[in-house]
Structure 1
Amino acid sequence: MNKVEIKARLEDSYDHFLKFIGGLSKDEFEYAPERKWNAGQQADHLIKSTRPLEKALGYPKFLIKFKFGLANRPSRTYPELVERYKQKLTTLEGDPPGNFVPKRVPFSDLNKVTKTQKEIVSGIQEKLSKWSEDQLDQYIFPHPLLGKVTVREMLYFTIYHAEHHQNVVKIYLKGI
């Protein structure tokens, strides 16, 4: 995927997620099996995981190189990255690191959550414009589950992440 495709897929993925949760009733929005996240918490988790990416994409490249290094391999394709993420999820125990654990989000905060996520995605798209195709494969960011990934891979993950959490909500709602 090139930058234009990444920007479009980011927007589509998060729009689909936000429209999906926006169509839920209050009971559906706030429902989750015991010790699982409801739709509002899934949304908050996505905000907590996309906000650092938006910020990091704006860092000077020399700082990213200094702090995280450079890639020593080519970027994985989107399907390869998704498959790697799914494999890592099978061995995951417990919640993600604390800064990614969501807070309770009442149904009344749906519009606020939607607005915030749209602003973050827009910010990612805007900052992505300042990256070349080569730079997306050259620089790396740390991912809490996947380890060091190229910026392109982090963007691929971010696209898939919304789809993943939408599917999780759908699965949980089958239990109602």
Structure 2
Amino acid sequence: MSVPQAPHTREELLQALNQMQGELGTYFRKLPGDVFTRGSAEAWSPSHHLHHLTLSNAPVAKALQISRDRLGRRSGGRPSRSFLDIRDGYRDALAGGAKASGRYVPDPQGDQAALVQEYLDATAAVRTALAGWTDADLDRFALTHPVLGELSVREMLLFTLYHNQHHLGGVKASLGQA
């Protein structure tokens, strides 16, 4: 996936999220049905990866829709980290044994078209909700990531971009397409 090396502004994030949504939607829609579902809870199929992304993207959209006065403020006053910093932090967490748990463990139900549409809807909801944010508020407010801890809203969006890229790369690698 070709996410810009350093999306940062709200506009750049919107553009990168749109590009990501289109690329993943097209890729998963075009997979042969038997390939899309080949896998298990231990060795995820492409459908597991896609459902996991839907489960991960939907709470981000909901969080962006919460009134700002109900969101936490960032602690420490540090600037938001970059896309590459977030990527590296997540890779370190994975190397340390982090993995999906709880509500983020996929259990894909439905046909391929329905699962792709659920993903597209969840990702579009992130973009729609983001449109109501200012660049300053992306750094001012915090969300909690289950593995990475407190992130600015901007950092959570950067994580969302990388997380989608990471899973697409994992699917392609498992199918010998990397």
Query: What is the aligned counterpart of 2:102 among 98, 107, 118?
Result: 98
SS of residue in 1 equivalent to 2:31: coil
Task: Give 1:38's aligned residue.
Answer: 45
Q: Which amino acid aligns with 1:134?
A: A
In 1, the alpha carbon distance for the partners of 2:28 and 2:109 equals 12
Task: Give 1:23's aligned residue.
Answer: 30
Q: Which amino acid aligns with 1:10?
A: L
In 2, the alpha carbon distance for the partners of 1:173 and 1:33 equals 15
Q: Which amino acid aligns with 2:113?
A: N
Q: Which amino acid aligns with 2:106?
A: P
SS of residue in 2 equivalent to 1:75: coil
Structure ranking higher in helix proportion: 1
Query: What is the aligned counterpart of 1:55 among 46, 62, 74?
Result: 62
Q: Does 2:82 match 1:77?
A: yes
> Contact (CA 8 Å) 1:30, 1:38: kept in 2 or not?
yes
Alignment coverage as a number of residue pairs = 169
Task: Give 2:170's aligned residue.
Answer: 168
Q: Which amino acid aligns with 1:48?
A: L
1:23 deviation in Å? 1.7
Query: What is the aligned counterpart of 2:119 among 109, 117, 124?
Result: 117
Percent same amino acid at aligned positions? 27
Q: Give the direction of change, closer, same or farther, for the CA distance of 1:36–1:74 in structure 2 (3 Å limit).
A: same
In 1, the alpha carbon distance for the partners of 2:17 and 2:138 equals 15
Give the RMSD, CA atoms, in angstroms: 1.8
CA displacement 1:40-96 (0-9 Å, x = unmatched): 11111001001111111011111112xxx4242210011111111111110125x42
In 1, the alpha carbon distance for the partners of 2:108 and 2:55 equals 13
1:34 deviation in Å? 7.8
Q: Give the direction of change, closer, same or farther, for the CA distance of 1:86–1:76 in structure 2 (3 Å limit).
A: same
In 2, the alpha carbon distance for the partners of 1:14 and 1:129 equals 16
Query: What is the aligned counterpart of 1:148 among 147, 150, 157?
Result: 150
